[in-house]
Structure 1
Amino acid sequence: MNTSSLIIIDGNILSMDEFGSTFEALHIKGNKINCLGTNKEILKNKDSNTVVISARGGTVLPGFIDSHVHLFPGSSYLNKLNLMPLKTFSELKDLIFYYIENNPSGTFVFGRGANYQLFDETELKTRKQLDQISTKNPILVQAPDGHTAWANTKALKDAGILEGITLPVGNEVVMSSDGFAEGMLKENEAIRLVLALAGSDRSRLGLDTGGEPNPPASDEEKQSDISVLKSGLSHLAKLGITSIHNMDGNFYTLELLDEIRKSGELTCRVKVPFHFKNNMRIEQLEQASIMSKRWNDEFLSSGFVKFFMDGVLDSSTAYLIEDYADQPGVKGEALFEEDEFNELVIDCDNRSLQIAVHSIGDGAVQRVLNAYENAQKVNGVRDSRHRVEHIELIQKVDIKRFKDLNVIASMQPVHPPGCDGLPLEPTISKIGVNRYNEAYAWRSIKEAGGTVTFSTDWPVSNVDPINAISNALNREKWSEDTIDQRLSLIETLRAYTIEGSYAEFKEHSKGILKEGYLADIVILSEKIDRIPTNDISKIEVINTIIDGKIVYSRD
């Protein structure tokens, strides 16, 4: 709904400003907030063209900012098999049986969200377990983290990797003692060899290669991809998300989003990076500078570079300083050598580009922080706001460095084992009891003065902010002696609003409900600050407003 004047009354308005200001009503004029106050005060601004919405006592917040998503893959996966609810291999078998029976013979089967424990029930190799489901259909099931997958014999054979293949560091087709692939595939370079059996998937290019469609997409293919992205944007609008920081990207993704914007259908503000892979040359960073200059406005922008420093804990591909607790002698591997990465960071920083690095293990986190500190020494200190993504393990000595270096800690409250239905194992056994206090250490970083933003890593996890907020507030300790890493409700909400805007240098224009700020707003069904934390998951989004326009209404 387009309107030049909109009033929200009867609200529990939490502004998210530093004073904790609350209001009953607000007036939007054009695309910005004009004023806030009581119902009586704000209704004085009403004229014949004003639309009035009653929040019916529900909480009104700045629109949610998800600081780490993968929009194109997430949009594409909305119609894929969702394996997250499954608890046993038997349930997986039943679901895939049903899918095969209702699709053409030989169809490639791909499902997302298979927990690692699904394959712990038998001594059979994982490919042979999946062969019990089908030997005629290639099958690939991917873990929730997206960094591990399992394939049946048909899929491995069709992909030409049943007898193994040499891959870049950190990536692996796991082999068994009989000389054939075991079925487990570690990291993207292994997984995408099987995914290719499904045909061209342009939605993953920004993640898999950072490159462009080759051959270029036809007009028909572009329109199909635009439809996929629109479905994802609609999904985000229903959840109250008004801004996202995309964590994969290429020119093609930005060009598609630009087309959506030109048609007036871009219902979310989007930042898209240049994804620098470890097989690229440093000269290719010029592409990031071109992106930054071409797209740089309030709705669609670039201006940053994404790297991966390691993998994930569950497959032992995260890079640790000390051995995995359950695998003596194994520390994982860094995807970039220290000298090489330092050179890349210096170059990015010298271009005034922001940097975001996937760093799950404490070794990866430390290597990235060291590179940021080195860049400050070489280039001089500037307001760079570089980022570290995930930080699932951190050394105690590195916690304070987030404040000292003004580095953003971008973290996901749906990722800790035990949250959002995730099993405790195998993750906590890999971490080890002596490292519990340095795992997913949101509060430790916050109390040391660091900036913490929250997000979901969609489609790795459910993108719903209410679900993420509920998990953040209801996270349980793994032992009696473990530090409680939860933030307060207001700190959690700020991590989803103003801290997210700070992470993209927009804290003076969005993320707070304040006069002159962009009118990006979400209206909730309940007073989020007046109900028990274990009831927060029941809250629904009533309205989503972006740039002063209503883009979603539940009723």
Structure 2
Amino acid sequence: MNRRTAPATPADLVLTGARIHTVDPALPEAQALAVLDGRIVWLGPDTGAADWTGPDTELIDAGGRLVLPGFIDAHNHVRLGSDGACVQLAGVRTLDGIHERIRTWHAAHPDAGWIEAEAFDYSAIPGGRMPRAADLDPATGDTPAFVLSYDVHTAWLNTAALRRLGITRNRTSLPFGEAETDPVTGEPTGFVKDFAVKGLSRDGHRALRGLGVPWAAPDRQYGRLAKSLDDAIGFGITTVVEPQNSLDDLALFERARAEGRLRSRIVAALFHPRGTTAADLDDFAAAARRFDGDRLRVGPLKLYIDDVVEPRTAALLEPYAGCGHHRGETFYPAEEFAGLLAGLDARGFQCFVHATGDRGIRTVLDAVEHARTVNGPRDARHQVVHVECLDPADVPRFAELGVVACMQPRHCAPEIAGPGQDWAENVGPDRWHKAWPMRSLHEAGTVLAFSSDWNVAEMDPMVGIYTAVTRRPLGGGEAWQPGETVDVGTAVHGYTMGSAYANFLEEERGSLTVGKLADFVVLSRDILRAAPEDIPGTVAETVVVGGDIVHRAS
């Protein structure tokens, strides 16, 4: 749109000197844009910008830099962390290294009532087994220790914590997870599965708080949220989809908004664990009506059909490599889940379903197909979240059923999931071709919504885009399954318009288009033209949300 006559009202903000990649095929590029009352009112060449400029108009000279729509992170656990009060275990690949980090922290905090740590990597445990309390005890002594895996799907406790939390051979089904037991002695090992499914639920959090675990305290939760929100806006993420919340958690977002920390827009999905009642669904629907603004919206439901590949809890069609007949379990029998999803679909809920294994993913697709048969087709935009190990026969079903693939490109990096890592070894080489098939899904017409899955992986969209384009390690090296890379334009679309569409936001976000919200980012490097290895390290120099400059890189 390039008006030849001056507008009646000058713009609040005018951006010039840019290479604007709009992600709008109707006007793919522009040099300048104007913003009035939080929305884009004009895009065009630099020569037209003066018509929109008045004495009070704020000016941004992009200096020839690339401007993109603000990134929409379609799956970002901003409430989870990371937590500055925890021992940080990211990058530690040996048990000795874990002991050293914990001992160093404990020496600096000798009066701590709990030792809490996060981001332990399964590969740090010798022999490919799962961790045990006896592995923690030498570094923690009699102080209870609560350690979360990097994917927050499992917890690792020492002997003192088992006692403190009341976990015994007769009490292993817990409000916050399922405690594993030794197959010989029957005693709890210290490893707790299903933490993401139960421990992050409303009941799980309340149980942990009642047992005195500091990590679950509201102030600690808010500290994690506030820090993560600051990080998000610094990376140019102007909309965050927080995928798993209880009704209790909504107060944290309200506090962040009241304290000026909610600079990114939020879409908050509500967790639907097993046992959710019709009354709960009524409460969820009421919350969606209450929180329906462009800054904070509540509505989608988060469900799980399986867990994760690394501890062999994802549901596979064939057994795990080297594990006999074990192929993981779904949290619901297929028929029950199909009925559940059909009921939610009938009530108009959009569902985000965590599914990583090929059998888990197929179970979800079958359920969506059943819902469409029972209820009739509708624009539901149900999402399969993660899509880590997908059977080729199910690739075309995403587009056929209108299912969005919400994927996290960084998860498929060779140093995280490739040969020699737990993911690849558990799946086995014969199934590596099923790993994160982004290109196959895209070519089949699937809507890709890209995201970070923070704090499981880095929040920075540049890291995700680089991995989607190269499938190489972050520091360079050989690509893993390079046939499933996508081009940089497709990756950017996944972080903008794809994620907007996935969340029913395409009418107001995802592209730079007249009438849409003025959410955009000025990047330090033109990632559409740069060599792939130069994409990481690109920074968001200026971030604008609703026409307000909310971040400038220092």
Corresponding residue for residue 15 of structure 1: 22
Q: Secondary structure at the match of 1:142?
A: strand
Aligned partner of residue 34 in structure 2, secondary structure: strand
Q: Secondary structure at the match of 2:411?
A: coil
Are the structure 2 counterparts of residues 495 and 7 from structure 1 closer, same or farther at C-alpha, using a change threshold of 3 Å?
same
The corresponding residue for 1:509 is 508
Contact 2:39 2:517 in 1 (8 A): yes
Take 1:123 and 1:539, find their aligned partners in 2: how far apart are those partners? 38
Distance 1:177 1:79 in 2: 37
Q: 1:207 to 1:361 in 2, by over 3 A?
A: farther
Q: Residue type of the partner of 2:171? A: I
2:53 corresponds to 1:46 = yes
Assess if the C-alpha contact under 8 Å between 1:205 and 1:211 holds in 2. Answer: no
Q: 1:209 to 1:112 in 2, by over 3 A?
A: closer
Kept in 2, the 8 Å contact 1:385–1:408? The answer is yes
Report SS of the residue matched to 1:273: strand
**Could you say what secondary structure the match of 2:79 adopts?**
helix
Return closer, same or farther for 1:465/1:434 CA change in 2, 3 Å cut-off: same
Counterpart code for 1:35:
W
Counterpart CA distance in 2 for 1:460 and 1:535 is 23
Give the match for residue 7 of structure 2: none
Q: Summarize the Cα distance change of 1:373–1:214 in structure 2 as closer, same or farther, 3 Å threshold.
A: farther
Q: Residue 168 of structure 2 contacts residue 188 of structure 2 at CA under 8 Å; is this kept in 1?
A: yes
Picking from 280, 285, 292, the partner of 1:289 is 285
Equivalent in the alignment of 1:269: 265
| C-alpha distance in 2 between matches for 1:475 and 1:249 | 31
Residue of structure 2 equivalent to 1:313: 309
1:187 matched residue in structure 2: 194
Instruction: Give the TM-score taking structure 1 as reference length.
Output: 0.89
Shift of 1:228: 4.9
> Given residue 108 of structure 1, which amino acid in structure 2 is its aligned partner?
W
Distance 1:91 1:166, change over 3 A: closer
Is residue 2:326 matched to residue 1:330? yes
Query: How many angstroms apart in 2 are the aligned matches of 1:307 and 1:515?
Result: 36
Flag the 1:433–1:479 CA change in 2: closer, same or farther, 3 A.
farther
1:174 deviates by 3.9
CA shift, 1:158, in A, is 2.2
CA distance in 2: counterparts of 1:32 and 1:124, whole angstroms: 51
1:496 equivalenced with 2:502 (yes/no): no
**Partners of 1:465 and 1:508 in 2: CA distance:** 22
Structure-2 separation of matches of 1:102 and 1:299: 40
Shift of the 385–497 alpha-carbon distance from structure 1 to 2, 3 Å rule, reads: same
Aligned partner of 1:149 in structure 2 is 155
The normalised TM-score by structure 2 is 0.89
Q: Which residue does the alignment assign to 2:166?
A: 160
Indicate how the Cα distance of structure 1 residues 293 and 124 shifts in structure 2: closer, same or farther if over 3 A, else same. Answer: closer
Mean Cα deviation higher: 327-336 or 15-24: 15-24
CA apart distance, 1:552: 0.9
Name the structure 2 match of 1:427.
Answer: 423
1:108 aligns with 2:114: yes
Give the distance between the partners of 1:491 and 1:533, measured in 2 at CA. Answer: 14
Q: SS of the residue aligned with 2:468?
A: helix
**Per-residue displacement from partner, 1:26-49 (whole Å, max 9, x unpaired)?**
111220112122222213311111
The residue number in structure 2 matching 1:376 is 372
C-alpha distance after superposition, 1:459-499 (max 9, x if no partner): 21221111221222221499999461111100000000001
CA distance in 2 between counterparts of 1:349 and 1:123 reads 40
Quote the residue 1:404 is aligned against: 400
Q: Please, which of 231, 237, 242 is the counterpart of residue 233 of structure 2? A: 237
Task: Give the conservation status (yes or no) of the 8 Å contact 2:115–2:140.
Answer: no
Does 2:461 align with 1:465?
yes
Query: What CA deviation, in whole Å up to 9, does each residue of 1:378-409 have, x standing for no partner?
Result: 11111111111111111222110100010000
Report how far residue 421 of structure 1 moved: 8.9
Greater CA drift, 399-408 or 95-104? 95-104
Aligned residue for 2:75, secondary structure, equals: strand
Q: Which moved more, 1:514-523 or 1:145-154?
A: 145-154
Whether 1:351 and 2:354 are equivalent positions in the alignment is: no
* Residue 177 of structure 1, aligned match among 172, 175, 184: 184
Equivalent position SS for 1:156: helix
**Relative contact order: is structure 1 or structure 2 higher (C-alpha 8 Å, sep ≥ 6)?**
1
Gaps of 5+ in 1: 193-203, 216-220
Find out whether 1:366 has 2:372 as its counterpart.
no
Do the aligned residues in 1 keep the contact of 2:413 with 2:472 (CA within 8 Å)?
no
Aligned to 1:171, the other structure's residue is in SS state: strand
Q: Percent identity?
A: 28
> Any conservation in 2 of the 1:171–1:190 contact (CA below 8 Å)?
no
CA drift of 1:326 comes to 2.3
Cα offset for 1:190? 9.8
Given candidates 448, 453, 463, the residue that maps to 1:452 is: 448
Which runs of 5 or more residues in structure 2 are unaligned?
Answer: 1-9, 212-216
**Secondary structure in 1 matching 2:535:** helix
Deviation string 1:203-231 (CA, Å, 9 cap, x unpaired) is: x455946999999xxxxx87776565333
CA separation of 1:161 and 1:207: change in aligned 2, threshold 3 A: closer
Question: Contact 1:80–1:112 (CA<8 Å) still a contact in 2?
Answer: yes
RMSD: 3.0
Select 1:393's aligned residue among 386, 389, 392. Answer: 389
1:441 counterpart (416, 434, 437) = 437
Q: Is the deviation greater in 131-140 or in 183-192?
A: 183-192
Closer, same or farther: CA 213–145 of 1 in aligned 2, 3 Å: closer
1:248 Cα offset (Å): 0.8
Q: 1:189 to 1:35 in 2, by over 3 A?
A: closer
Give the structure 2 partner of residue 524 of structure 1.
523
Q: How many residues matched?
A: 536
Contact 1:274–1:287 (8 Å) recurs in 2: no
Q: Distance in 1 between matches of 2:174 and 2:362?
A: 22
Relative to structure 2, which stretch is displaced further, 340-349 or 509-518? 340-349
* CA distance, structure 1, for counterparts of residue 13 and residue 130 of structure 2: 62
| Alignment partner of 2:105 out of 67, 84, 99 | 99
In 2, Cα distance between the equivalents of 1:213 and 1:4?
Answer: 50
Instruction: Point out the more displaced range, 166-175 or 334-343.
Output: 166-175
Please tell me whether the aligned partners of residues 74 and 449 of structure 2 are also in contact (alpha carbons under 8 angstroms): yes
Check whether the contact 1:212–1:252 (CA below 8 A) recurs between aligned residues: no
- Does the Cα contact within 8 Å between 1:8 and 1:52 map onto a contact in 2? yes
Question: Per-residue deviation at 1:313?
Answer: 0.3
For the residues of structure 1 that align with 2:202 and 2:84, how far apart are their CA atoms?
18
Distance 1:80 1:543 in 2: 31
CA distance in 2, matches of 1:184, 1:99: 22
Distance change in 2, residues 1:209/1:308 (3 Å): farther
Match of residue 218 from structure 1: none
Tell me which moved more, 480-489 or 545-554: 480-489
Q: 1:147 to 1:407 in 2, by over 3 A?
A: same
- Among 240, 243, 246, the residue aligned to 2:242: 246
1:35 paired to 2:42: yes
Tell which deviates more after alignment, 535-544 or 80-89.
80-89
Contact 2:152 2:196 in 1 (8 A): no
